[in-house]
Amino acid sequence: MKRIAILLTLALCTFGVPRALDAATAIEMTPEIEQGLKKAETYLDGIKTMQAEFLQISSSGDTANGKILLSRPKNLRIEYDPPTPILIVADGEFLSYVDTELKQVNHIPIEDTPAAFLLRDDFSFTGPELTVTRFERRANTLRISAVQTKDPLAGELTLVFTENPMVLRKWVVIDAQGVITDLTLINARFDYPIPESEFLTSFPELDLEGR
């Protein structure tokens, strides 16, 4: 169970050196694609908070469940259900990976992670930071895949929406080694207040060793 959490965390936190992905190529823009990207951007910019349960599945067959809290533009909390002893928290400055079993925490600058793109105040698929690699629209489902422009071989993020009404349903991460991690949102609630205390990146109650 811990392994799948680590896989997602590595994808969200930093990009590895090995290159298992093929070189990513930007898609050719059409009016339909531009309209779809703009629709997704407007929707994502409109999300202030989100609370949801999730089911996470990796291509290795591992599964995990948990709870995710999102408060844009800077905060994220991913808490895994037992027996997975992992907690991930972003506070706008750092993304912290906490192993409550080993009592260890690692803090990574949020701007050095792909998670920063989900947390920005002004989300853009067409800005210089992201390169859109795939756009699929079928059966009321919209899938948009993108890579970091500065390091396109490092990993790919796919966001999956239903369109009518427009709702974020899941995201899929393919890391630099080609491992696929699929996170599906369950019972998502949007724009409900979330206490700021949920996003603190100090954990004195756990007596953790930080580094």
DSSP string, 60-89: TS-EEEEEEEEETTTEEEEEEPTT--EEEE
Alpha helices, H only, 28-179: 31-46, 115-119
Residue 210 within a domain: no
Q: Which of 82-86, 103-107, 133-137, 204-208 reaches the highest mean pLDDT?
A: 133-137
**In the block, residue with structure tokens 């949801």:** 52
d(CA 44, CA 127): 15
- Domain of 18 in residue numbering reads as 2-193
Per-residue confidence (pLDDT) for residue 21, from 0 to 100: 47
- The total of structural domains in the chain comes to 1
In a domain, 72, yes or no: yes
- Does residue 77 lie within any of the structural domains? yes
Q: What is the dihedral of CA 26, 31, 36, 41, to 10 degrees?
A: 80
Cis-peptide into 114, omega within 30 deg: no
Identify whether 165 is preceded by a cis peptide bond (ω within 30 of 0).
Answer: yes
Q: What is the pLDDT of residues 64-114, one digit of tens each?
A: 999 999 999 889 999 999 988 889 999 888 888 898 888 888 888 887 776
Q: Which residues contact 173 (CB under 8 A, 6 or more apart)?
A: 8, 11, 12, 114, 155, 156, 157, 158, 180, 181, 183
180 has a pLDDT exceeding 70: yes
Would 209 be classed as within a structural domain? Answer: no
Query: Do the domain assignments include residue 35?
Result: yes
CATH (domain of 163): 2.50.20.10
Answer yes or no: are the C-beta atoms of 87 and 78 closer than 8 Å: yes
CB 131 within 8 Å of CB 37: no
**How far apart, in whole angstroms, are the C-alpha atoms of residue 184 and residue 211?**
31
Identify whether 200 is part of a domain: no
Q: How confident is the model at residue 207 (pLDDT cuts 50, 70, 90)?
A: low
pLDDT at 116 over 70: yes
Burial class (CB in 10 A: 0-12, 13-18, 19+), 120: middle
Is residue 20, in this structure, part of any structural domain at all? yes
- 198 inside domain: no
Distance CA 110, CA 117 (A): 10
> Of 143, 141, 112, 111, nearest to 125 (Cα)?
143
